[in-house]
Structure 1
Amino acid sequence: MLGTKIIGNGDIKIIFLHELMGDCRNYEAIFPFLDKENFTYIFTDLRGYGLSKEIKGEYNLEEASNDVKNLITKLNLDEVILVSHSMSTMIAQRVALIEQKIKKLILTTPISASGIKVPEIQKKSLIRKMSENKRAIEQIVRSSSRRYNQTWAKYRIDMGYSSSLVEARTSYMNMYLNTSDNENDINEEIEVNIILGKHDSAVFAKKETEKNFSKYKNVNIIECQEAGHYPMIECPVFYASKIEELSKK
């Protein structure tokens, strides 16, 4: 079973998935503000990450989606709200397709079910640098952290390296950069709530997100005005409040 950190014992069950360059520790800033009486929060690490770092695998969309489905079964959950961030939003959308117990999705700074399309040269360069463990993380962090100081950048870079195995983050990067027809493999009927950061990069902008998620019939987009790509860290009170608000409705 995937490694988890469970907080609270409420009736509303929420599973959290992490991004490419972090693990469930990305959510630690919201812990003091969680309603532990009404909610159960299940912070989950994918294979090769954090609490699941010793679990080896292929580190791909199908495997990760089935791992989350199996986690739901092993925890004997009847109804689940699935929260995900960036890279794992691809996985969450697939889980909603194969697992009927998912009540709704809350996607943070998401990408479409088909991934992110970038020029072939740039894609190969990013994947090569990530696999060689040479400055790909620094490049990504610095491109998205211009608003903040060097302490923040160092924190994010250190998290990127310490949270996962290099083969895991390289494979998941490969997953979302190799675009496909997966955009058609979605549960169009499920409720999708999206939390964006106003200061995120262009690929995660509101207009781009509206286009990428137009196939869903019930989409609600919330834009955090003071965040970039990490609203759970940059604006933890806002983020915790919105997760609970969206989960109750």
Structure 2
Amino acid sequence: MKQPIHCSTRTGTTLGYAQHGTGPTRVLVLHDWLGDHSSYNDLLPFLDCNAFTYVFADARGYGKSIEQTGEYTIEEMASDCLELVDQLGWARFHIIGHSMTGMLTQRLAANARSRVASAIAVCPVSAAGNRLSPEALAFFTSTMESDEALRRLLKFVSGGLCDGWVDRKIRQNRETVSPGSRAGYLEMLVTTHFVEDVRGLDTPFLVIVGDKDPGLDAIAMESTFLAWHPNAELQVFYGCGHYPMQESPPRFATVIENFLTRHST
């Protein structure tokens, strides 16, 4: 029988989170720039709650951490995550990051090599950051206020999913992401660069991309994650865009849990 979701909101600097499962393999999961931990809700029915404990954490300014402000840097994000796992009593854990927090999987693997058992980077921005042209940066900035611009972005990265899905994503963004964090993390994405800190890092990595996700495709991963990490492997979800945990949740659950099981010792 599937275990219920256990939610706990922390105060101070410790991130809020939702817990799912009570198994011995511990997995910390982070979200993308556009939404909080609830981006994974469609995945929950397919996860093995007896084998795994999943903690879906919210970065500062998102969801259960929406009142928290900060510098919105990758180092701050990594420090927050380590504080959270310390409070959870996890000596060793796995990390999953999506899009914006793809680079977080690398930062944590570098900062806590002995503690990160494996990492899964989903449609990830890498340690090289996402250098945007002035025009592209202006467009991303416009999505913070304009629903129409955000709709265009979501249609683009998802390969043109239906209006109902896009409407839900827009509501999620407006309700669960603070304006200050949107701007702060966008600056993080376009200015961060720590490739030399992760080059050669032997942490097992699974990189998942959708073939309909423009820009963050298999070719981009070959020159970043797979080039830098000797124990990295790539999984392409065909017919899928930037949100495989929503577009193909049963398959996504199967792929990540097979990988986590292989690297749980």
| TM-score in terms of structure 1 length | 0.93
Would you say the 8 A contact 2:128–2:192 is kept in 1?
yes
CA distance in 2, matches of 1:128, 1:225: 29
Match for residue 240 of structure 1? 253
Which amino acid in the other structure matches residue 216 of structure 2? F
Would you say the 8 A contact 1:127–1:174 is kept in 2?
no
Would you say the 8 A contact 1:130–1:169 is kept in 2?
no
**Structure 1 position 178, deviation (Å):** 2.1
Counterpart pick for 2:119 among 105, 115, 118: 105
CA distance in 1, matches of 2:228, 2:174: 35
Match for residue 177 of structure 1? 190
- Alpha-carbon distance change, 38 to 91 in structure 1, aligned in 2, over 3 angstroms: same
Counterpart pick for 1:119 among 105, 109, 133: 133
Q: How does 1:1-249 map to 2 (within 5 A)?
A: 1-99=14-112, 100-123=114-137, 125-126=138-139, 128-130=141-143, 133-135=145-147, 136-180=149-193, 182-186=194-198, 188-201=201-214, 203-213=215-225, 214-249=227-262
SS in 2 for 1:59: coil
**Structure 1 position 78, deviation (Å):** 1.8
Unaligned runs of 5+ in 1: none
Percent of counterpart pairs with the same letter? 28
**Structure 1 position 115, deviation (Å):** 0.7
| Structure 1 residues 43-73: Cα deviation after superposition (integer angstroms, max 9, x where no partner) | 1100100011111212221111100011111
Q: Which moved more, 1:147-156 or 1:7-16?
A: 147-156
**Structure 1 position 122, deviation (Å):** 2.6
CA distance in 2, matches of 1:145, 1:192: 24
Which amino acid in the other structure matches residue 93 of structure 2? V
* Runs of 4 or more consecutive aligned structure 1 residues displaced over 3 Å after TM superposition: none
| Structure 1 residues 5-58: Cα deviation after superposition (integer angstroms, max 9, x where no partner) | 111111100110000001110111111111111110111100100011111212
Would you say the 8 A contact 1:127–1:170 is kept in 2?
no
| Structure 1 residues 168-208: Cα deviation after superposition (integer angstroms, max 9, x where no partner) | 0111111112253x11121611111111111111x111011
Report the number of matched residues.
245
**Structure 1 position 221, deviation (Å):** 0.3
**Structure 1 position 143, deviation (Å):** 2.1
Would you say the 8 A contact 2:60–2:66 is kept in 1?
yes
Which amino acid in the other structure matches residue 141 of structure 1? L
CA distance in 1, matches of 2:158, 2:126: 23
Which amino acid in the other structure matches residue 235 of structure 2? I
**Structure 1 position 159, deviation (Å):** 1.6
CA distance in 1, matches of 2:234, 2:191: 26
**Structure 1 position 147, deviation (Å):** 2.8
| TM-score in terms of structure 2 length | 0.88
Would you say the 8 A contact 1:145–1:153 is kept in 2?
no
CA distance in 2, matches of 1:33, 1:225: 20
SS in 2 for 1:19: coil
Would you say the 8 A contact 1:137–1:160 is kept in 2?
no
- Alpha-carbon distance change, 148 to 142 in structure 1, aligned in 2, over 3 angstroms: closer
Which amino acid in the other structure matches residue 222 of structure 2? E
CA distance in 1, matches of 2:157, 2:51: 35
